[in-house]
Structure 1
């Protein structure tokens, strides 16, 4: 298979498969469409407009993503919330990447009172900053994967740690969160998706990183990295986020998602059905 590498949505992509020039153009257009609607880092995005004025965002992703966020929020007792964007900005992870931390900002306790949605749109009743980082990249991987369903043979869509595979099994290392030259285990992935999250990614300052508890606006401290394996990337991505909080393992079990997670002091846990071969001893 040929490999197409490119940068988009602030990350590195690799797509393995026999893609035509038309396929590549279609992928680029779909990524641009999603980014223009949902990126809080673009001054011309719909999300940026809603943050300034409130109002409506027309998107086929609104229903699937926000409905899943409601399940995430319920399972984690409000720790995962699509209005966490203001908290990320307060700590310096803003559109300008200022990385200058101020006081933590908690998300609204009931985000569904401010945000409503249907299958194809979302509405914010007052200015508020949406951040779909808990599952948005997984959603986009699924969209690109579906767009390439006609491509013959095997297919791998990899967006820097969130990936989906069709065809022959692919062996994937689970990167150690404190030493990227090492792996904590290996997964053989076939016709499935794997998504990962870690506090060493998008980290700045002392103890500052992108995984916040929406209830407090403070970065999580107990868990260092998570990995989730599911039938689709959006749910796997959502579980990878939920695993940083109480309720995450139970949600993964309900959705049939396998998982591994590591604490900040190096201990590791896994679901009973997880296929990963681990190199780190469990407690």
Structure 2
């Protein structure tokens, strides 16, 4: 990728890097940060003042703009993974100590049935206490929205990297992205050269907080997964790529990838790699 301007900032608990051909005007940066702040105030379970925190004991509220887009995809994720992936995994994470609400038991807690508890249309409704967590695809959705805002205001190359969730338009020029080794951050297992679209990664060595505890839980058991340790998904938009990167930790992930027409890679705990790659622009090192 040709030289340009980079903007690095922290938001929603992670580091973002935006690469563009020219410096981003201050007003555009303010709009990006405002967009992220609104999303965070709606969907973060790490903020006591967020919408999802206000619904944790049950209730209803006007549905945020991203509700349908995200939760409709959750329907597909839940169906593909036999409810291993669920939008109500927040309580399970908090039971293991990952969240702001006190009283974590340390005892695994399966997620409640979202079909019985959660509804959305013009309103977002929880009919019983539960904690919404959109972590399976929310960062990808936000990366898409930041990308769309920048694309509408700037010409030339735009790359949005939300710490592993990447959405880009290289204007015909390949952007090389290293695929980080899950056991050694100084190495890569491969490289992708993309001119447009998205690649999202997930790994069990990220967002850890205790022995054997990480952010990818099976909603049916409330336990961290232990067979798959890292995934990558390649699709036109980051929300679906992020969603698939989560689904690939479970048995139904590859079938969902085929339905969505995605390329993908996953690394197992025994070091083996499984993948479906159809384009020469994604290379795995042997």
Query: What is the TM-score when the length of structure 1 is the normalising length?
Result: 0.94
Matched, 1:202 2:207: yes
Q: Which residue of 2 aligns with 1:277?
A: 283
User: How many residues end up aligned between the 2 structures?
Assistant: 277
SS in 1 for 2:56: helix
Q: 1:70 to 1:88 in 2, by over 3 A?
A: same
Q: 1:124 to 1:163 in 2, by over 3 A?
A: same
Q: Which runs of structure 2 are paired with 1:178-189 in the superposition (5 Å)? A: 178-189=183-194
Where in structure 1 are there 5+ consecutive unaligned residues?
Answer: none
Runs of 4+ in 1 over 4 A off after TM superposition: 98-101
Q: What is the Cα deviation at residue 196 of structure 1? A: 0.3
Q: Which residue of 2 aligns with 1:10?
A: 13
Q: Which residue of 2 aligns with 1:228?
A: 233
Matched, 1:106 2:110: yes
Q: What is the Cα deviation at residue 100 of structure 1? A: 7.1
- Mapped contact 1:91–1:99 kept (Cα < 8 A): no
- Give per-residue Cα distances to partners, 1:30-55, cap 9 Å, x unaligned: 00000000000001000000003422
- Give per-residue Cα distances to partners, 1:82-114, cap 9 Å, x unaligned: 101011001111127x89761100012x31221
Tell me the distance in 2 between the aligned counterparts of 1:198 and 1:99: 27
Q: What is the Cα deviation at residue 207 of structure 1? A: 1.4
- Mapped contact 1:223–1:264 kept (Cα < 8 A): yes
- Mapped contact 1:172–1:186 kept (Cα < 8 A): yes
Q: Which residue of 1 aligns with 2:76?
A: 71
Q: Which residue of 2 aligns with 1:158?
A: 161
Q: 1:121 to 1:27 in 2, by over 3 A?
A: farther
Where in structure 2 are there 5+ consecutive unaligned residues?
Answer: none
- Mapped contact 1:37–1:57 kept (Cα < 8 A): no
Tell me the distance in 2 between the aligned counterparts of 1:107 and 1:53: 15
Query: What is the TM-score when the length of structure 2 is the normalising length?
Result: 0.93
